[in-house]
Every structure is written in structure tokens, then in C-alpha cells.
Amino acid sequence: MQVGKLTFVPVADATDLVAGPARQHLVDDGLWVSAIDPDLADTAAFCEHYDISLDISANCVVVEAKRAERTWYAACVVLATTRADVNGIVRKHLGARKISFAPMDTAVTLTGMEYGGITPIGLPADWPVLIDQSVTDQQHVIVGSGIRGSKLLVSTDVLAALPNGEVLAITKT
């Protein structure tokens, strides 16, 4: 399947292009993978170089929530054209008193994935995965694969069906 300058193949044909934590949760239907230059994994550079529209490129960010002595983590999936309202909508939805983007070292350690390639597929089982409605308005989106050297082309039905996935409006309007 061709998208922009990338050729995606069924993920079952190239499982080595997906990080270990994500690999064990892959389904054959609705997931495709393509190798990329790891130096171009960051969204703006990736989209420009590979001629990918920002409105089908989705980012997965890890947030750290706190209330009293409890600390927990969640992921937010938003289109590259939007920003999650972390301090408002996301904080309130998670019932946190304080919330912030998780430190890079923490996100990498807890996910077992590379920073800049974190994918919502294969995150720890107890993490909420908040998927913005604008993501599921697309037929498919391109997200990280858990490594910086590839990207996944994912049917948004697959994202919406993630075990801890929840589709809601998490971006500022």
C-alpha cells in the first residue's frame, strides 16, 4: 500500500520493524508497516520528507498523572494538526490533581519503546489510551511503531478497539 513516498507492507511480513512490546499485540488486519530513516521520525520532518499529510499523522504522547501519593500513566493519541488539552480535559478525565508529559527516560523505560516512536499498540495493560475523536474520523492514520526506524499505517478501527482505548474529545477547540 502506497501512502506519500512510503510503501507499507502487512505487519506480519515485517515484524522486525515493530518494537517488542507492540509486536505481541499486533493483529494482521488493519496494520501495515514501512521502514523510514530514524533521523526523520519526528512528525514535521517525517511528513515533509515522505510527503505525508499532517491530518493522517498521529502522535502518541505519554502523560504522568498524580493525585496525593499515587502516580500513574496514560497515553494520548492526537492528529499532528492538533494538541491534546493535557492540563484541562485529559487531567480532569483521568481524575488527576497534577499532570504533565512523562519524562523521556520514564516513557522509554515504562513502554519498552524508543522515544519518538512510541505507539499506542502494546502499551502497559493498565494504562488508559485516550484517542481523540479527530483521529477516528480518519480511515487510517500513521503512528509510531515503537522504534524510530519505521511507522505503522493503522486502521482507526484497530485503535478504537484497543483494550484500554477510549475515544473522546481531548483536544482544544
Mean pLDDT across the stretch 56-84? 96
Rounded CA gap, 50 and 173, in Å? 28
Q: Which SS3 state, helix, strand or coil, does residue 53 take?
A: coil
The pLDDT assigned to 155 comes to 92
Q: How confident is the model at residue 74 (pLDDT cuts 50, 70, 90)?
A: very high
Q: Is residue 166 within 8 Å of residue 82, measured between CB atoms?
A: no
Question: CB-based contacts of 105: which residues, under 8 Å, 6+ apart?
Answer: none
Rounded CA gap, 36 and 48, in Å? 13
The helix (run of H) or strand (run of E) holding residue 106 is helix 104-111
pLDDT at 25 over 80: no
Q: How confident is the model at residue 173 (pLDDT cuts 50, 70, 90)?
A: low
Q: How confident is the model at residue 22 (pLDDT cuts 50, 70, 90)?
A: confident
The pLDDT assigned to 12 comes to 87
The pLDDT assigned to 27 comes to 65
Distances in whole angstroms, Cα of residue 64 to Cα of each of 6, 15, 46: 33, 29, 26
Single pTM value for the model? 0.94
For the chain, state the CA radius of gyration: 15
The pLDDT assigned to 46 comes to 95
Rounded CA gap, 29 and 10, in Å? 8
Q: Is residue 119 within 8 Å of residue 60, measured between CB atoms?
A: yes
Mean pLDDT across the stretch 121-135? 96
The residue that leads in pLDDT, 158 or 132, is 132
Average pLDDT, the chain: 94
The pLDDT assigned to 149 comes to 96
The pLDDT assigned to 21 comes to 83
